[in-house]
Structure 1
Amino acid sequence: MMWGDGMGWGMGWAWLFWILMIVGVVVLVTLLVLVVSRGGPGRQDGPRTPPAGAAPSRAREILEERYARGEISAEEFQERRRLLEGNGP
């Protein structure tokens, strides 16, 4: 014997199915985007570290940019440049 319109308790769990379906699709799309953006699971790139001489030159470039924009004074520029070059105070 059926109750009401025949839907019974079975339709009460349909919302859970749809929530799990949506979560599954979101997880799959996220994983797909991650795999594509990283170049795939078999990518064999080494660690991305700058060359040994790159860090001081980039620091010097930043220092020069800050001086050019007027963020630091000439004295502060000279002092920081000396520190970067290893000539200490």
Structure 2
Amino acid sequence: MGWSWGFGLVALVGIAILVYVVIRLLSKNGGSDPSSTSTSTQPDLTSARKILDERFARGEVTAEQYRERIRVLGDGR
């Protein structure tokens, strides 16, 4: 009779682990949107632009280099 509470506790922990694993698997997949994984592998052009702007402001790149790199990033300004 002393073991009955132990089996209930083990079952509860097992269910909690199962729920945790299912949630982790679904969150890694990004839900039902398959395009979310393909966009995360592409470089973030806005952050690249911010870095370039900061480097230009600090004087690490010349105006000519800045314009060329903006053109390469596809901004076209």
TM-score (norm 1): 0.42
Larger of the two Rg values belongs to structure: 1
Q: Per residue, is there more helix in 1 or in 2? A: 2
